[in-house]
């Protein structure tokens, strides 16, 4: 058995350990139809864990998708917590609204904003968020990271999905713009005095960091 076979076996086990209900399964199927990436069940459970750990009241999500990540986050947040989700694709947000409704999530617990994150984030409240979760085009991640210190409260967490770049990031021969952007993001977080970073090898990879309290 090769190392690759072992890794696949581990991923199959961990995703199977986390049972998704019919609502999440339907949202995941809709994502496949729309060809939009969504976190694996294990990655979704990590988002729920982070939201519960932080007793999150306010979360901002970049990349609504079809609501898969949003449902996982909301299920970890406080009962009165609000998810703000930004996406430039109206069709994605329509699918997410359907998924939230099917999950029994009250309408006042979600705020969906149509637009590009680089335009929307500067208008959001300083220090108003417990978690900032981003998934989508890695070449946008550097711009999103610049907003994180302002948006997050001390102790808040910023997390980026697809951090392995489909397996390209560990490959030294891969030098395409998306892979380079992910490597530079990791280097920036590790070098930052504002954050304490960690790479979580779940799903397609999550690069996360917590905002340090002022010293």
Q: Tens digit of pLDDT for each residue in 179-211?
A: 999 999 999 999 999 999 999 999 899 999 999
Per the CB < 8 A criterion, the answer to whether 172 and 147 are in contact is no
Residue 94, domain CATH? 3.40.50.150
87 φ/ψ angles, rounded to the nearest 5 degrees: -155, 140
pLDDT per position as a tens digit, 16-46: 678 899 999 999 999 999 999 999 999 999 9
Rounded distance between C-alpha atoms, residue 197 and residue 108, angstroms: 32
Give the chain's radius of gyration (CA, Å).
17
Confidence at residue 11, expressed as pLDDT on a 0 to 100 scale: 58
101: pLDDT confidence band, cut at 50, 70 and 90? Answer: very high
* Total domains, the chain: 1
The arithmetic mean of pLDDT across residues 63-84, rounded, is 98
Range of the domain at 30: 3-211
- The pTM of the full predicted model, rounded to 2 decimals, is 0.91
The answer to whether residue 12 scores a pLDDT higher than 90 is no
Phi and psi torsions of 162, nearest 5°: 55, 35
- Answer whether residue 2 shows pLDDT above 50: no
Rounded to 5°, the CA angle 164-133-35 comes to 60
CA 193 to chain CA centroid, nearest Å? 22
Tens-digit pLDDT profile for residues 132-181: 999 989 999 999 999 999 999 999 999 999 999 988 998 999 999 999 99
């Amino acid at each position: 058995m090769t190392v690759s076979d072992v890794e696949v076996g581990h991923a199959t086990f961990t995703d199977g350990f986390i049972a998704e209900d019919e609502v999440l399964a339907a949202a995941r199927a809709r994502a496949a139809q729309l060809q939009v990436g969504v976190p694996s069940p294990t990655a979704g459970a990590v988002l729920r864990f982070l939201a519960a750990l932080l007793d999150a009241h306010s979360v901002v999500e970049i990349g609504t998708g079809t609501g898969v990540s949003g449902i996982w986050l909301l299920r970890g947040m406080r009962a009165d917590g609000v998810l703000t989700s930004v996406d430039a694709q109206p069709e994605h947000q329509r699918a997410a609204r359907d998924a939230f409704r099917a999950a029994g999530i009250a309408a006042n617990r979600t705020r969906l904003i149509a637009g590009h994150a680089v335009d929307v984030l500067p208008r959001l409240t300083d220090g108003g968020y417990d978690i900032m979760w981003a998934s989508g085009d890695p070449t946008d991640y550097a711009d999103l990271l610049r907003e994180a210190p302002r948006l997050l409260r001390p102790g808040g967490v910023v997390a980026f999905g697809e951090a392995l770049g489909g397996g390209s990031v560990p490959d030294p021969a891969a030098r395409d713009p998306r892979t380079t952007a992910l490597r530079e993001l990791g280097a920036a977080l590790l070098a930052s005095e504002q954050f304490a970073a960690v790479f979580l090898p779940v799903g397609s990879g999550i690069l996360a960091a917590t905002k340090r309290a002022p010293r």
